[in-house]
Amino acid sequence: MSVRPRILLTGGSGQVGWELRRSLLALGEVIEPDRERYDLCRPERLARLIRDLKPRWVVNPAAYTAVDKAESEPERCQRINAIAPAVLAEAAHAVGAGFIHFSTDYVFDGAKHSPYTEDDPTAPLNWYGTTKLEGEQAVADVSRDGAWLVLRTGWVYGGRGHNFVRTMQRLMSEKTQLTVVDDQIGAPTWARSIADVAAQVLAYCQSPSAMAEYAGVYHVSCAGATSWYGFASRIRDRLLAAGMEAVAELSPTDSAGYPTPAARSPYSVLDNSKLARRFGLVLPPWEEAFMLAAPEFGL
Ligand SMILES: NC(=O)C1=CN([C@@H]2O[C@H](COP(=O)(O)OP(=O)(O)OC[C@H]3O[C@@H](n4cnc5c(N)ncnc54)[C@H](OP(=O)(O)O)[C@@H]3O)[C@@H](O)[C@H]2O)C=CC1
Ligand SMILES: Cc1cn([C@H]2C[C@H](O)[C@@H](COP(=O)(O)OP(=O)(O)O[C@H]3O[C@@H](C)C(=O)[C@@H](O)[C@H]3O)O2)c(=O)[nH]c1=O
Ligand SMILES: [Mg+2]
């Protein structure tokens, strides 16, 4: 009788974690430690659980994702985004489990004008990005020649959790006029697309020892690019098409016209060709993914 492999999943209440719950089901027994009983500010408890359960895979989409708040909560952000991934990856390595971690386009400063590859130099502009980069590097370091993947994505939205789509939906119904930045360019990415890729990569690898051959950083974002203003315009179109009557007018501004505590990259489009080369996986254009996702937002 074959035993279903154990998959330990963190962050199941978040955007990507929620989708991973579903996409990982086909691959094994998904174990989600009770959030009441662990806090990634103190990851040792979870590391102990990894040592006890000896899962085949540890999948870690949990993170501190409040980009602006991170500037005034630096220590908490660093514990969750940099220290916890290292402790979990170390435990995974110790029991021979494969570790999948997630990171962000905000590790780049945006000075480039063409999509970033995994080999491009990193230079985060804000604290969130700084801690995410530390997390990536720590995972690579402690995993040594073991099985680990860092999937870097960007501009994530999904039916669960906080995201730009929800924020725009709310503001467009509450206000008559909205100003949105048009000088930050990226690729809106549906959480479900990311979770599907993660599951397909695991299915492809089958075993941690096979994953070790593919260990590294991979860019995983929807194809194409737009500005936040461009994305907001598309959200507005859907609201109008869904019959909403009082929808705020939109106007573009530069970043100086919408000051925020954390600086954001002017350009953070990711080149996904390594994912296609190594695993044969391609994500849809962001507009197509957004059409598919729209019903999750009642659109
Ligand atoms: N959101 C985005 O636009 C982007 C995200 N990413 C990366 O993708 C990954 C997934 O992001 P996303 O799904 O959006 O994240 P969310 O913010 O939607 O979810 C974060 C998850 O982490 C959990 N979490 C936060 N703090 C703790 C803690 N102290 N202890 C235990 N669990 C905790 C949350 O649980 P709880 O709710 O119970 O606190 C939640 O389940 C992250 O690595 C993120 O950095 C990359 C690019 C863009
Ligand atoms: C609400 C609002 C935001 N904005 C701007 C602020 C900011 O520059 C941009 C996006 O705002 P948000 O705060 O929603 O997005 P932000 O938190 O920067 O999103 C980031 O989250 C982290 C977790 C990531 O990893 C990144 O890939 C990215 O998705 O839009 C406006 O211009 N007008 C508005 O009314
Ligand atoms: Mg945000």
Write the pLDDT tens digit of every residue in 96-116: 999 999 999 999 999 999 999
Mutation choice for ligand 1 from 34, 65, 131, CB with most ligand atoms inside 8 A:
65
Choosing from 181, 184, 234 the residue with most ligand 2 atoms within 8 A of its CB, the one to mutate for a pocket test is 181
Kindly report whether the global pTM for this prediction surpasses the value 0.95: yes
Q: Residue holding tokens 């500037």? A: 71
Number of neighbouring beta carbons within 10 Å of residue 111: 11
Q: How far apart are CA 128 and CA 121, in angstroms?
A: 17
Q: Does the Cβ of 47 fall within 6 Å of ligand 1?
A: no
Which band of pLDDT confidence, cut at 50, 70 and 90, is reported for residue 36?
Answer: confident
Q: Percent of the chain, pLDDT > 90?
A: 94
- Ligand nearest to the Cα of 63, by number: 1
**Which pLDDT band, with edges at 50, 70 and 90, does 244 fall under?**
confident
Looking at residue 246, what is its pLDDT? 85
Q: Is 15 in the pocket of ligand 1 (CB under 6 A)?
A: yes
Domain layout of the chain by residue ranges = 6-163+187-225+269-284
CA–centroid distance, 68 to ligand 3, in Å, is 7
Structure token pair of residue 243: 């019959």
User: Is 241 exposed, middle or buried, given 0-12, 13-18 or 19+ CB atoms closer than 10 A?
Assistant: exposed
For the 6-163+187-225+269-284 domain, the top CATH level (class) is alpha beta
Whether the pLDDT of residue 72 is over 60: the answer is: yes
- Residues classed as catalytic: 128
The bound ligand whose nearest atom lies closest to the alpha carbon of 77 is: 1
- Residue 1's pLDDT band, with cuts at 50, 70 and 90, is low
In this prediction, residue 14 carries a pLDDT of 96
**How many angstroms is it from 63 CA to the middle of ligand 1?**
4
Residue 83 is given by DSSP the state I
**Dihedral sign of CA atoms 250, 129, 153, 46 in order:** negative
Q: Which whole number is the average pLDDT over 4-13? A: 96
Residue 156 alpha carbon to ligand 3 centre in Å: 10
Burial grade of 119 (CB within 10 A; 0-12, 13-18, 19 or more): exposed
Q: Residues 238-257: what's their mean pLDDT?
A: 94
pLDDT at 95 over 80: yes
- For the record, the structure tokens of 287 come out as 């507009």
Task: Find the angle CA(214)-CA(187)-CA(153) to the nearest 5 degrees.
Answer: 30
Ligand closest to CA 106: 2
Once rounded to an integer, what is the mean pLDDT over residues 269-291?
97
How confident is the prediction for the chain on average, in pLDDT? 96
Share of residues in the chain with pLDDT > 70 (%): 99
Q: Please answer whether residues 179 and 217 qualify as being in contact, where contact means their C-beta atoms are separated by less than 8 angstroms.
A: no
d(CA 43, CA 223): 35
Q: How confident is the model at residue 2 (pLDDT cuts 50, 70, 90)?
A: low
Q: What's the pLDDT band for 258 if we cut at 50, 70, 90?
A: very high
Over residues 51-56, mean pLDDT: 97
